[in-house]
Amino acid sequence: EAGVVQSPRYKIIEKKQPVAFWCNPISGHNTLYWYLQNLGQGPELLIRYENEEAVDDSQLPKDRFSAERLKGVDSTLKIQPAELGDSAVYLCASSLAGREASWSAQYFGPGTRLLVL
Amino acid sequence: AQSVTQPDIHITVSEGASLELRCNYSYGATPYLFWYVQSPGQGLQLLLKYFSGDTLVQGIKGFEAEFKRSQSSFNLRKPSVHWSDAAEYFCAVGAPGGGADGLTFGKGTHLIIQP
């Protein structure tokens, strides 16, 4: 079974430029998460989708960050414009859990490492 | 809100020696508990999870963890480490009732294996 797929794996951009990250979850996983991991820290949740609905985006900086999961499968996270402080690893995870389902472990992709110059 | 503390930023262990990584959580009830491992440049791999039942849980790669409610701890153990175990280890908690909520992670423990 294929795991969570993310692309690109690495991205270097100049500040004020836009950038987008793509995630394809494990087949059949209805819940998708985007996490931000700063150097030396644990991941922090940015946004959670159940199918195509964003059910928790309270930690997403909405002035510059946006996300979508139009067909309830793969998802895109965008930053526009990027700032120096956005340099981090952006992790995508998926699970079978949902509001009507019991807890399920989250499975992570390899992440996209962003460097903003 | 729940929180996770991993008191050890770095731990150095000799190859073949036993290992224990500490994790303490703060939550009003029994949370769901997880340990993940992250190798350099990689995503997080699930080692094991505790939802309910037996407080000693077995995971992959020979790891186990024990949930101790009285100590609010979920320490990770391995009887004999291998050089390939060198990585970053994260403890995480999830809130019961929030079936799909995001996890709260500790800051991680960096494991170094000495030959």
Q: What is the pLDDT of residues B65-76, one digit of tens each?
A: 999 999 999 999
To the nearest whole number, what is the mean pLDDT of chain B?
Answer: 91
Q: Best interface-test mutation with B: which of A50, A89, A103 has the largest number of B CBs within 10 A?
A: A103
pLDDT tens digit sequence for A56-100? 888 899 999 999 998 889 999 999 999 999 999 999 999 886 654
Angle, CA of A72, B39 and B51, to the nearest 5°: 60
CA distance B113 to B12: 6
Select from A9, A2, A5, A29 the least CA-distant residue to A94.
Answer: A29
In this prediction, residues B81-103 reach a mean pLDDT of: 84
Touching check for A98 and chain B: CB below 8 Å? yes
- The residue among B2 and B22 whose pLDDT is bigger is B22
- Indicate the DSSP class of residue A21: E
Fill in the amino acid letter for A69: R
B46, B101, B105: residue with CB nearest A42 = B105
Mean pLDDT over each residue of chain A, to the nearest integer: 91
